[in-house]
Each structure stands twice: as structure tokens, then as C-alpha cells.
Amino acid sequence: MEDLLPPDADDELDYASLIEMLRRLEGKEACLLMSAGEAWRFQAKGTVRYYDYNWADGFAIGDGARMLVSEPDFVGAKLRTHDGAEHFSIAMRFGEAAYSFPPART
């Protein structure tokens, strides 16, 4: 992952930069965490794939989880990398839903 992400970043991302950063995860093993307030939490782990739905950007995580995001719902996103880019997280908010891509742990 180190060659795909900037070292020691703490960067706010606009929507286009977020999608570009998430697309760098294509083919990589990752973990998606999602919550909608305090009501519920969801986690999926697997290989990341990108889908363009014209009206939204879609990402599959593993065989069963899908994340659809669209720019009108975008609130904000942040990329953090540590120890160069060995450890990373991408946090994002769309409406009331919060998503995070920490690295997958084996």
C-alpha cells in the first residue's frame, strides 16, 4: 500500500479526491466500517472493486458488501497515513452515514 498512498498524510479530501483515493484500493484487501449514528454498525472485509453506476460511485468489499456514494450526499472525508504510508485510514461521511476504510488485518 505504501506506493499507493502519500506518506504521513492528514488531508481533507473533496469528493473527486476521495473517489480517486478509494479507487487506489481496487484489488487490495480492506475493511469497511459503517455506522449511522449510534443506532447500528456494520463491518465488511474483502477485496475492493469499483463500479460506476452513472448516478453514484459503487464499491464492492468482498463478495457481499456494497457501498454506493454520490456527490450530493457528500459531507466530508479525510485521509490519514502513519509510519510513511504503512498504516492508513480513509474516513468519510455521506448524510448521516459514516464510513471508514482502515487496513484489513489478518
53-77 per-position pLDDT tens digit: 989 999 999 998 899 999 999 999 9
Give the pLDDT score at 85. 57
pTM of this structure: 0.83
pLDDT in tens, 16-42: 999 998 998 899 888 888 887 776 678
Q: Is the dihedral of CA 4, 66, 30, 76 positive or negative?
A: positive
Question: What is the per-residue pLDDT for 1?
Answer: 53
Task: With cut-offs at 50, 70 and 90, classify the pLDDT of residue 6.
Answer: confident
Tell me which CATH code domain 10-101 carries: 2.30.29
